[in-house]
Amino acid sequence: MADTVGTLRRLGADPTSGVDLDEPADEDALEKLDVPRPEIIVPGDQRNTVQNDFVRRDRRFHRINMGFPDEPFESFDTFEELLLAVMRNQQVLA
């Protein structure tokens, strides 16, 4: 599997990549206050269309269309797998 964190660091350091990284956050900071479901951690969303969730009850990462929280269209066992899918979807990786 690719070195996802290294790839993100490289892309984040390159101003021409289109990848903008925020400062690291702990788990408490990842729980968005506007999400009314405490079992969900939202590490990010994509322009109000796709939400990337970590569901505490099944300990998996899911990608959902906004507004349909119980209907994931992709699921992953690790955060790395989720990040790779997001980078491929955003055409950052081939």
What's the confidence (pLDDT) of residue 87?
A: 79
Count of structural domains, the chain: 1
Assessment of whether the complete model's pTM goes beyond 0.85: no
Report which of residues 43 and 80 the model is more confident about: 80
Distances (CA, A) of 28 to 25, 40, 58, 60, 90: 8, 11, 18, 17, 27
pLDDT confidence of residue 1: 47
Quote the pLDDT of residue 56: 84
Specify if 64 maps to a domain.
yes
Query: Does residue 13 sit within a domain?
Result: yes
Query: Does 18 fall in a domain?
Result: yes
Segment 18-72, tens digit of pLDDT: 777 777 666 666 565 455 666 666 555 566 688 888 888 899 989 888 888 788 9
